[in-house]
Amino acid sequence: QVQLVESGGGSVQAGGSLRLSCAASRRTSSSFTMAWFRQASGKEREFVSAFTWNDNKPHYADSVKGRFTISRDSAKNAVYLQMDSLRPEDTAVYYCAADLSHIVNYFSDYLYGYWGQGTQVTVSS
């Protein structure tokens, strides 16, 4: 089992910044994937960003490229999502996801085995 602990959500005005954190209780190998998804009220959950450990690469949805930055701390088994230039349409519950494997289709939520509890991000205009 892997537990994910998220933190860092909150409320901010448009143009502001927030930083989300997600720490995993364990990581068994270098083949590890951690990601952020979000779900706005009345909408389906969507991919935001992912980090694939074995090739050390960040990945982003087109809607957040250039505004969000994902980074990792291997020692802490953690990923961070720095969100800048926030827009009202970024308002959602953000979920951290992880899997003990290298996920090629990192944008597919059903491939992740572990999920955090979610943290609310609200951006006002």
Q: What are the tens digits of pLDDT across the range 41-98?
A: 999 999 999 999 888 899 999 999 999 999 999 888 899 999 999 999 999 999 999 9
- Exposure pattern of 89-113 as b/e (b: 16+ CB <10 Å)? ebbbbbbbbbbebebeebbebeebe
